[in-house]
Amino acid sequence: MVNEIIKNSSFDLEQWKYTNINLFKDYKYNISCEETIFPPSKNNINLINGKIKSQKTPHVVVDKIKNIRIDNIKKINHIVNSNVSNPFIKINSNNYTEGAYIYIKDNSILEKPLVIDKKNNENKEKVLLNEKILIVVGNNVNAKIILNEYLNNKCYLNTVVQIYMGENSIVDFIHNSEKSKTTQICNFFSDIDSSSQLNFFSINIHGKLIKNNFFINLNQSNSSYHFYSLNLLNNNNHVDNYLEINHVKKNTTSSTYQKNILDDKSKCIFYAKAKIFQNSTNSEVIQSNKNLVLSDKAVVHSNPQLEIHNNDVKCSHGSTTGELDESMLFYMRSRGIKLSDCKKIILDGFANSIINNIKVKSIKNDVQKKVNSWLNNVN
């Protein structure tokens, strides 16, 4: 039982400030589950109940985690070992299925996005399936990685995603998810080396109970991390994004942009902490959270934080929460536009400032279609 692990573990109360960890105490956890035959997609990698099926892709090595050399495992696990106070990381480390190891070779430019399609069985019982994805990016790499999670069935997931970037590399990672019936705890770890940049997109359309933790280390000078998140929630959806970004070296840059649209009794959390170390001079941090609340029963928690240990930095943070502008709606209606269309135009423009940063046209169009579908149901 998860309750036994929680009782015997210390954990960071700030990570769980707005999502009660005891919601998971009655859960069990499995190493594997019964197999369901899913037709594999035509994309590069299929992750089915934590097990991989992949096609050959130039410049990319895909394997099971258990097949990786021991010294590589030690190298890629050092971040997780520093965060073992999180009980769900312990559970994942001890119980994950075969897992997926993805290595993009040095000096590789991927002309097409590397697409990971994830599928999971329906599970009526509260049993966590443990999944792990390890991504190692070599030096001088330019790549776009898509993780699709379109889960319309009821399932319970405990997921760890680790991304390790070498020098002089650029990666766009797009986590594209629609999980109206899914309960998931997902811990993302990113280690970024000198002169490398990770652009991370977190798109959540629906989500029964989603707890995302992001731990980012800007380990060398001129490394950067940019986080873009869009969350469209209704009913009793709950999405909690918690970020810790460590500026370890000088000339490092991070930015976090999260936009939320909430309806009905949904809840969304933005908790971002950027820590700038004493020797991290000439570093820059931007934190921005903007929320539109469509119902008086929806709840937003926003907490951007800066922890600064030197004076040679440029930092800003801010958060706004509000409703649709009645004067703007009145003006548009006076021009003959239906109220429902007025709302959709405003909300679409609000969401597009995140969507427009997605450089993969097919994914950008797909996200836009799903956003339009969600907006069509707004009263």
Q: pLDDT grade, residue 69 (50/70/90)?
A: low
Q: What's the whole-number mean pLDDT along residues 147-165?
A: 90
Residue 137 has pLDDT above 50, yes or no: yes
Binned at pLDDT 50, 70 and 90, residue 73 comes out as low
* pLDDT computed for residue 43 by the predictor: 57
Least confident interval from 7-21, 37-51, 333-347:
37-51
Inform me whether the pLDDT recorded for 33 exceeds 90.
no
Q: Which residue is it, tokens 């811990």?
A: 187
**Which has the minimum average pLDDT: 111-125, 189-203, 212-226, 298-312?**
111-125
Residues 200, 175: contact at Cβ < 8 Å?
Answer: yes
Higher pLDDT, 107 or 151: 107
Tell me what pLDDT residue 37 has: 47
How far is residue 229's CA from residue 293's CA, in Å, rounded to a whole number? Answer: 16
Q: Is the pLDDT of residue 116 over 70?
A: yes
Query: Taking all residues of the chain, what is their mean pLDDT, rounded to a whole number?
Result: 89
Domain chopping of the chain, boundaries: 2-323
38-42, 140-144, 210-214, 353-357, range with the lowest pLDDT: 38-42
52: left (phi over 0), alpha (psi -120 to 50) or beta: beta
**Mean pLDDT of all residues in 167-178:** 96
pLDDT on residue 368? 96
| CB 199 within 8 Å of CB 229 | no
Alpha carbons 306 and 276: distance in angstroms, whole number = 8
pLDDT in the model for residue 76: 57
Share of the chain above pLDDT 90, in %: 67
pLDDT digits (tens, 9 = 90+) for 244-302: 999 999 999 999 999 999 999 999 999 999 999 999 999 999 999 999 999 999 999 99
Percent of the chain with pLDDT over 70: 91
pLDDT mean over 310-332:
95
Residue whose tokens read 């970004």: 245
Phi-psi region of 195 (alpha: psi -120 to 50; beta: other; left: phi over 0): left
